[in-house]
Amino acid sequence: MALQTQARPSSQAGPGPMPQGGKSPRAARLTPHAIRDQRAGLSFISPSLLVMVALIIYPLGYGLYISFFRTNLRNQWDFVGFKFFIQTLTDPAFIHSIGVTLLFAVLVVLGNLVIGTALALILNTEMRFRTLFRAILILPWLFPDVVVALIFKWIYNPLYGLLNYGLMTVHLIDKPIAWLDDPNLAFVAVVISCIWKGYPLVMILILAGLQSIPKERYEAASLDGAGPIGSFRHITLPGLLPVLIVSIILDTVWWFKHFTIVWLMTAGGPIDATKVVSIDIYRVAFQNFDFGRASAMAVIVFVICLAISIVYRKLVRDNES
């Protein structure tokens, strides 16, 4: 607090002529005590600042720097300017992978939202064994991505898979289906696996949101003659809106850059049907060893994620106002 009270007069004084010795009016008017406080403040924030620079600013800056070079990151650094950006933005394969990624992210987020909301509404009721159901339903979120991918890969296996076995047992199909070999089925299969992995987070967020809505509102609505649908529409939904917006945006960014499950289940195939942009970047970097172009692609994805983040902030601000 001392820092604020001491600093304010100097900032209110505005710019003035430099006193002798080249010191600014602000520095000249700071008492030794205020300077000591300022240094203390800087020393308090410096560990966080250093960590942020090391873990966020430097990698981002380095990634951007690499994108201007044809490089193997070791002994080849040929400056190419914006060539890789132009090449990437005019490459139909990259545009295709952005399209696949957007569709994938939208479907997974939608699935997470529908299933997460439905389960949260059920768990918010006064049902028996509620704690047990909560514990069971959160389980998929606790599994590592690798485990989820392998579980589903086995479920979809054409020879030994549980899905084919079940469908053949009830005579819905007469011969095994290679789910991950068909481009359309593979895409749906991967989306389902990701929804299974992702819905618990949304469920927990929404459950927390539901529990923050005062019960009196429902009682008042009931007295006014509102049914369950009316209560959901006019009380639950508006009450949940801030949580929903945060969930949607966080989930969209999360799944937009997702790699592991898709890579392990299909490696982007068959014939690029599940080639999300993260797989495209991985292949360019580590199969073609074209690190410069991969960085340019990553920068473009960063810009897209940044745009999503700006939309999120705008929506939240509008909502608050």
Partner 1 sequence: MKLTKPLAALLGLGLAGAVLTGCSSQAGAQSTSAPANAKVTLTVLSPLVVETPSGDVEKAYAAEYQKLHPNVTIEFIGVPMNDAYAKISTLATGGQMPDIFINSPEFSAKAKQLGIVADMDKLLGADYLKGFAKAPLDQAKLGGKTQFAPYFTIPTGLLYRSDLFKQAGITPPTTWSAFEADAKKLTVDTNNDGQTDRWGFAMVGTNDGSGGSRFIPVMRTFGAKELVKSGSSWTTQFDSAGAIKAFKLYGDLVNKDHAVPPGPLQTGYAQANALLATDKAAMMITGPHTIGAILTQNPALKGKLAGAPLPHAPGEKSVSVLGMLGWSVSQDSKHQQAAADYIKFVLDKKNQLAFNAATGRFPTRNDALADPQVNRPELKGFIAAQDNAFILPAVPYYANLQVIAGGDYQQVILNKMTPEQAAKDAAEQTKKSISDNG
Interface residue list for partner 1 (CB under 8 A): 72-76, 153, 157-159, 175-178, 180-183, 266-272, 283, 286-291
Which amino acid is located at 45 in the chain? I
Query: Looking at beta carbons only, is 5 or 76 nearer to partner 1?
Result: 76
CB atoms within 10 A of CB 116: 26
Question: Judged by CB, which is closer to partner 1: 242, or 269?
Answer: 269
Q: How far is the CB of 320 from partner 1 (least distance, A)?
A: 44
User: How far apart, in Å, are the Cα atoms of 294 and each of 25, 40, 124?
Assistant: 49, 42, 45
Return the number of the residue (69 or 199) whose C-beta is nearest partner 1.
Answer: 69
Counting beta carbons within 10 angstroms of the beta carbon of residue 313, is it exposed (0 to 12), middle (13 to 18) or buried (19 or more)?
exposed
Shortest CB 64 distance to partner 1, Å: 17
Do the strands 77-79 and 69-71 form a parallel or antiparallel pair, or are they unpaired? Answer: antiparallel
Q: Residue 253 Cβ, how far from partner 1 at the closest point, in Å?
A: 25
In whole angstroms, the minimum distance from the beta carbon of 280 to partner 1 comes to 12
DSSP sequence for 18-47: PPTTS--HHHHH--HHHHHHHHHHHHHHHH
Q: Which residue number, 272 or 302, has a Cβ lying nearer to partner 1?
A: 272
Q: Sign of the CA dihedral 39, 44, 46, 47?
A: positive
Tally Cβ neighbours within 10 Å of residue 184.
9
CB of 182 or CB of 304, closer to partner 1? 182
Which contiguous run of DSSP H or E holds residue 233? none
Q: Where are the extended beta strands (E) located within the chain?
A: 69-71, 77-79
User: What residues have CB less than 8 Å from 31, skipping those under 6 apart?
Assistant: 6
Q: How far is the CB of 181 from partner 1 (least distance, A)?
A: 4
Q: Which is nearer to partner 1, 181 or 224 (CB)?
A: 181
* Radius of gyration of the chain from its Cα atoms, rounded to whole angstroms: 27
How many residues are recorded in the chain? 321
Shortest distance in whole angstroms from residue 275 CB to partner 1: 10
Measured distance CA(64)–CA(49) in Å, rounded: 21
Considering beta carbons, is residue 181 or 219 the nearer one to partner 1?
Answer: 181
Q: How far is the CB of 228 from partner 1 (least distance, A)?
A: 45
Query: Residue 70's beta-bridge partner residues?
Result: 78
Shortest Cβ distance from residue 310 to partner 1 (Å)? 32
**CA angle centred on 209, ends 205 and 214, rounded to 5°:** 165
Question: Which residue, 76 or 212, is less far from partner 1 as judged by CB?
Answer: 76
CB of 276 vs partner 1, minimal distance in Å:
15
Q: Which is nearer to partner 1, 75 or 125 (CB)?
A: 75
Q: Which of 72, 59, 55, 48 is nearest to 302 (CA)?
A: 59
Q: What count of other Cβ atoms lies within 10 Å of the Cβ of residue 112?
A: 26
